[in-house]
Amino acid sequence: MSDTEQTENFVQQLTECQGRLFGYIYSMLGEHSRAMDVVQETNLVLWRKKSEFRDGAPFMPWALAIARFQVLAHVRDQGRDKCLLDSELVAALSEETEQQVDQLETKRLALRKCMSDLPQEKMEMLQLRYYRSMPIAEIAKSIGRRADAVKVALLRLRRGLADCMHRRIQEG
């Protein structure tokens, strides 16, 4: 295979894994802008190490191994004030996350179906919280409800959607 072909092949694999990389890293860090930073760092490292990647070897485990390393480095640099997980927890959660991230696409489709049934008010809360990362206090203000009520509603909503997602995946 020529260098160009190899590069193209590599870029394609890298492109295809972006969603799962984000899923993995976001799951570990739980904070959007930092997760994006680490995704970018991971992309850089993957690119830099592309000569080490062998064609035909599975790309995802390799990419995830590097992502995990980047998450660890980030957690180490940022410390406990900013990150929920420490190195030990990253290690403990890594396997579970890798398994779940494998099903990311399935989960996403399932979740979309579950969300299509949501009443407007709930949808709005969900979007404010998850799409826009709006703090609970602000959501409460913007929709004219008490903060603790918003919290309870969102907790229920999240659990409800998670259960729905499960059911849909199991039903196929």
Partner 1 sequence: MASPEIDEFEQLLFDWEDGTLDTAGTTRLRDLLRKSQAVRKVYVERQMFGAILKFDGDTGIDSADAGRGASGAATFSVSEEGPRFPSAVSESAVDASAALQKTADSVEVARRRYKSLLFVIAASFLFCLVLGRWLLVESRLQSAEQVKPETSEALPEKLESTSAGIALVTRLVDVTWQESEKQFTVGDALSVGVVGLESGVAQIEFFCGATVILEGPARLVLESSTVARLQSGRLRAQVPPAARGFQIHAEELRVVDLGTEFGVAVNEGEADVQVFDGEVELYQPNGEQRLVTAGNAITHAASGVFELAELTPDEFLGLEALDDRVRNQKEDRYQRWLDHSMELRKDPRVITYYSMEQDRYWKRRLASSVVPENRNLDGAIVGAKRVVGRWPQKSGIEFKRPGDRVRVNIPGQFGSLTFACWVKIDSLDRWYNSLFLTDSYQRGEPHWQILDTGQLFFSVRLGGGPGKGHHKVLSPPFWDASLSGRWLHLATTYNVETRTTKHFLNGEKLCEERIPDELFVQQTCLGKATIGNWSSPTRPEADFAIRNLNGSMDEFVLFRDALKSDEIRDLYIQGRP
| Cα pseudo-dihedral 139, 140, 142, 145, rounded to 10 | 150
- Out of 71, 75, 140, 165, which residue is the one contacting partner 1 (CB under 8 A)? 165
Alpha carbon of residue 83 to chain centroid:
15
In this structure, which long-range contacts are made by residues 58-62, counting pairs with CB atoms below 8 Å and at least 24 apart in sequence? 59/13, 59/14, 59/17, 60/17, 60/20, 60/102, 61/98
Residue 4 CA to residue 1 CA, distance in Å, equals 8
User: Least distance to partner 1 from the beta carbon of 149, Å?
Assistant: 14
Nearer to partner 1 among residue 19 and residue 78 (C-beta): 19
- Out of 57, 144, 146, 171, which residue is the one contacting partner 1 (CB under 8 A)? 57
- Out of 51, 79, 144, 170, which residue is the one contacting partner 1 (CB under 8 A)? 51
User: Least distance to partner 1 from the beta carbon of 172, Å?
Assistant: 19
Contacts of partner 1 in 68-127 (CB under 8 A): 68-69, 72-73, 84-86, 88-89, 92-93, 96-97, 100-101, 104, 107-108, 111-112, 120, 123-124, 126-127
Q: Mask: binding to partner 1, 133-152, rule CB under 8 A, as x and -? A: x-xx--------------x-
Structure tokens at 135: 């703090």
- Out of 8, 141, 149, 155, which residue is the one contacting partner 1 (CB under 8 A)? 155
Helices (H), 49-146: 59-78, 87-102, 104-116, 120-126, 136-143
